[in-house]
Structure 1
């Protein structure tokens, strides 16, 4: 009889419930439920509708029972940095504000009045992103101090959902590191830094690692669903789960977790918090089994998703890729510029960036997409050079995992721009990594090495030569 493991993978634009089980030496997947997600406006803020998301979480779990495929365990992963606050009665305070909201503008300078940017990087190893939790909390401290005063718990988004399922509050390690408030040496909250910044230390929950059995479902949830199962922490940061699914047994790998963001990097056993690393804006995010995901955040397919909504609504991504591949426009933009984080119009912003740099201005979805795809490939090329320079290692191939592994044109451009072989797939990397962590905890896989070998055998890949 199959043992089913349920991965609930929630991204910025959609979420899905994926059941996984093993047959022989292979892992098999089945999508049970899919639902939309996105930021909405409320009270002048960009927010996540976490109540609707939790209703979808339960709806998908109900479908498992309806199909007679009750999971032995479940784990949830989402994006990073965002959080909710709970009061002394465990009620949510304010909105679940989204990282693209403008509340962190200027908060970096407020933080640097207390600790310098260089000292902060040396202490945490996390690259500066204006939306990091450290800056979101500073915004609350400066503009809504009453919320921090009432807070008794801070829970990252997946930790909040796990809390609603089990009643147990925790802070999963991979997501906690993205707050820029965790020490890469002790791998726990940097309480001295938290105190220095004036944040209430008591709101930060105990850090637990992927594979931790958080507990059973609450009695209330069991009654709603009609069954019980264990809640096991995956790498709750979706990139942490996706990197677990890189289909390689090699020690030194170079990957791109490609989706809304492109996260390009390698794995280190020790964080690199050097000045050189800071200069290149590389980050040391926590990974499975205390590895470090040494990577750079690149704006990624968010740019394509945005222009599709604006000027390519009637096209699918395959068509956009094909049309872009037929264009000859040579204009390039810096995908990491802050101007592309949350512009009023992405298509217009790409035009403005080309105009500002004296390049040909793209017209229509075809040329706009071509500029974005070529710019991403160029950014990947630069990032490889930086990583190889700092690590002193050479990488002959790039593993692209996640939804972006479907972007054939971008994969081909990446192989050509970097002069590296590109291995694309698996596409469902985040859900696969989530399930792998549960299978390891459940004893069906020994460790990460065996999990990656199983993933290599189980899912198709495409190879692109330079």
Structure 2
């Protein structure tokens, strides 16, 4: 039996998912799971990449323990965050996370050099204050020596690939989240890099998913008990998740639902118009040089935060059930930056309702109901804007993939409010998309559409009617 392993790491945890093919179906098995979160260090919110890497090794060692050694390994994570390496290939400084406040005001610093509309025209990437471009401006303003001493910039999954193989390759889909890739050429925009005064040498040549990085180093082989290839996948987690949308239809609308909700469609040419910019759409790189034309919506981060604050003894299914029975009509704007990293999500939601003259939610049921209903409204608004930009009314199903596909009440609300059939699943879409890229690279699956056809036959897909 031939195995592949997807290492899928998110902002709240990671998992090793083994995959193999049997009777024309994709079979998956979770072999290891670990927690992850930002930690406060010297006044900054940082990632403990050494701890994450130790879990990567433990998960791989677990594959050896159960006798299911993978042929190849793929790693995906969130986007925008990065690591700088010096001439000796050592990390420079702490690995600051995207929720840190260091980017405050950095958008104006960037726009004083490159106007916002010109930046969008060149990159097609929506303004989000945590994008790599603003993080790099913050480094330049507060720690210029770090940039001067840097030899290479690696996005988070690229760094872990390097730690496994001793080789570093820059991957296209994650690179687009930097807001430094030209959407016409599909390569680093050297004019932007020059204008911002960033060192060109730190930006490596881009490679597409399916490219071989290398084999495990001898040291890693000794620690995990086997050798395997490391292969680039859609290393931005949403790129992998979108690969697992179970449809053969071009232009289907999807929601990659997790900590963030990414709602959009696939297109072959970026929409970098000013109208698109004003609607805050982004054109992130996807598999096979497609564009993920989507909107970032705050997502289940809000529910995750509220659960941690006031309902840690409940699982999300129970919270969903309670929310469905709550009688409250208050709504908040899930995309408001106030919900990005508040001291208390629960209190921030209450304040927002109070300020807008709506009923203030009390308890987990009402608070969750406000969040779920608000998310559904955000989804509907995004759908109408997609229709406007694409110039046609969307009449197909809406596909919800990722962990949020299990949020039954939210799926029911979306179907009811949109008038569309909602297809929810697969749950582990990101890991499955990661595996698909490995299988395609290995020649075990013919291509993207063949892979999506297999998903429909391999995983549970739930249907919600309007």
Could you tell me how far apart the structure 2 residues matched to 1:327 and 1:273 are?
A: 42
Residues 96-245 of structure 1: matches in 2 within 5 Å?
96-245=95-244
Could you tell me how far apart the structure 2 residues matched to 1:198 and 1:367 are?
A: 49
1:48 equivalent in structure 2? 47
- For residues 418-449 of structure 1, give each alpha carbon's deviation from its aligned partner in whole angstroms, at most 9, with x where no partner exists: 11110000001000000000000000101100
Could you tell me how far apart the structure 1 residues matched to 2:284 and 2:455 are?
A: 23
SS in 2 for 1:93: coil
SS in 2 for 1:198: coil
Could you tell me how far apart the structure 2 residues matched to 1:274 and 1:264 are?
A: 19
1:320 equivalent in structure 2? 319
Could you tell me how far apart the structure 2 residues matched to 1:50 and 1:184 are?
A: 30
1:14 equivalent in structure 2? 13
Structure 1 residue 222: Cα displacement = 1.4
Could you tell me how far apart the structure 2 residues matched to 1:314 and 1:428 are?
A: 24
Structure 1 residue 394: Cα displacement = 3.0
1:431 equivalent in structure 2? 431
Structure 1 residue 167: Cα displacement = 1.2
2:74 equivalent in structure 1? 75
Residues 270-419 of structure 1: matches in 2 within 5 Å?
270-395=269-394, 396-419=396-419
2:252 equivalent in structure 1? 253
2:85 equivalent in structure 1? 86
Structure 1 residue 417: Cα displacement = 1.3
Off by >3 Å, runs of 4+ in structure 1? none
Corresponding pairs, count: 465
* TM-score (ref. length: structure 2): 0.99
Could you tell me how far apart the structure 2 residues matched to 1:292 and 1:219 are?
A: 38
Could you tell me how far apart the structure 2 residues matched to 1:213 and 1:329 are?
A: 53
Structure 1 residue 284: Cα displacement = 0.1
Could you tell me how far apart the structure 2 residues matched to 1:108 and 1:389 are?
A: 28
2:456 equivalent in structure 1? 456
Could you tell me how far apart the structure 1 residues matched to 2:269 and 2:218 are?
A: 42
- For residues 350-397 of structure 1, give each alpha carbon's deviation from its aligned partner in whole angstroms, at most 9, with x where no partner exists: 001001111111111111100000000000000000000101233221
Asked whether 1:441 is paired with 2:441, we answer yes
Could you tell me how far apart the structure 1 residues matched to 2:174 and 2:392 are?
A: 27
Structure 1 residue 143: Cα displacement = 0.8
SS in 1 for 2:187: coil
* TM-score (ref. length: structure 1): 0.99
Could you tell me how far apart the structure 1 residues matched to 2:393 and 2:176 are?
A: 27
Q: Which runs of 5+ in 1 are unaligned?
A: none
Could you tell me how far apart the structure 2 residues matched to 1:420 and 1:328 are?
A: 24
Structure 1 residue 260: Cα displacement = 0.1
1:268 equivalent in structure 2? 267
SS in 1 for 2:423: strand
Could you tell me how far apart the structure 1 residues matched to 2:12 and 2:454 are?
A: 29
Structure 1 residue 86: Cα displacement = 0.6
SS in 1 for 2:70: coil
Structure 1 residue 314: Cα displacement = 1.1
Please identify, of 225-234 and 80-89, the stretch whose mean Cα deviation from structure 2 is larger. 225-234
Structure 1 residue 168: Cα displacement = 1.2
Could you tell me how far apart the structure 2 residues matched to 1:448 and 1:392 are?
A: 26
SS in 2 for 1:249: coil
SS in 2 for 1:65: helix
Could you tell me how far apart the structure 1 residues matched to 2:339 and 2:327 are?
A: 23
Please identify, of 204-213 and 279-288, the stretch whose mean Cα deviation from structure 2 is larger. 204-213
Could you tell me how far apart the structure 1 residues matched to 2:429 and 2:136 are?
A: 31
Structure 1 residue 205: Cα displacement = 1.2
Q: Which runs of 5+ in 2 are unaligned?
A: none
